[in-house]
Amino acid sequence: MMRLQTILKTVTVGVLAVGMMAVPMQMKAQAGDTVLKPADTPALLPDKVFYRAQSAPTQLRNSGGVKFADGYYVLATLVDTSGYSTGVAAKYQAYFITEVPLTIGGEKLAAGVYGIGFIADNKLVVTDVGAHDVVTVATGDDAGMKRPTPLQVIADPAGGFRLYSGRRYVLFNR
């Protein structure tokens, strides 16, 4: 009888231990958002994009994004704006695609395709494909960034993500 109780206790402890290990694994799977690097985006982003009545080549070497755990994407890539007027080119530096509604810089942004630009006065402007302003938000400056690149996406330590242009960034999340 004593031996049976010991076996039952051992089995119970084992089941509880396995159950407790499974909870963090399940939480990790739910929080399984993946930051995408330039090497991850060529199959997802086009070589050319339409914006303000023109087609412009993308710079896939300067791209990034996020694949959320549920399979939806946020993607960004710099664009060659040499054929655009200086007014449009100032506000349109990158093509931005979101398959889900976001909060960007504290403002709501619907799912869609946009142009974005880091502009004067530490602002990011989001425009529709007709070059009409949709959202303008404040940006931060990451003076501690060791190797800034023209465009990249990084997970924010406090949650969400940062979209960078050099050392300037804007926070976004779902």
Per-residue pLDDT of 15-73, as tens digits, reads 444 444 433 333 333 379 999 999 999 999 999 999 999 999 999 999 999 999 999 99
pLDDT over 60 (residue 5):
no
50 shares its domain with 89: yes
d(CA 164, CA 78): 11
59 shares its domain with 14: no
13 shares its domain with 39: no
The predicted pLDDT at position 21 comes to 46
26 shares its domain with 105: no
Quickly tell me which residue has 């810089």 as its tokens. Answer: 105
Give the pLDDT confidence of 83-120 residue by residue, as tens digits.
899 999 999 999 999 999 999 999 999 999 999 999 99
Bigger pLDDT: 166 vs 11: 166
Q: Can you give the residue range of the structural domain that contains 24?
A: 1-30
55 shares its domain with 10: no
The predicted pLDDT at position 120 comes to 95
19 shares its domain with 38: no
How many Cβ atoms from other residues are within 10 Å of residue 17's Cβ?
10
What count of Cα atoms within 13 Å lies in the side-chain half-sphere of residue 23?
Answer: 5
The predicted pLDDT at position 2 comes to 58
53 shares its domain with 89: yes
102 shares its domain with 157: yes
2 shares its domain with 19: yes
The predicted pLDDT at position 53 comes to 94
Number of domains in the chain: 2
11 shares its domain with 48: no
| pTM (global) more than 0.85 | no
The predicted pLDDT at position 30 comes to 38
The predicted pLDDT at position 31 comes to 73
85 shares its domain with 107: yes
54 shares its domain with 140: yes
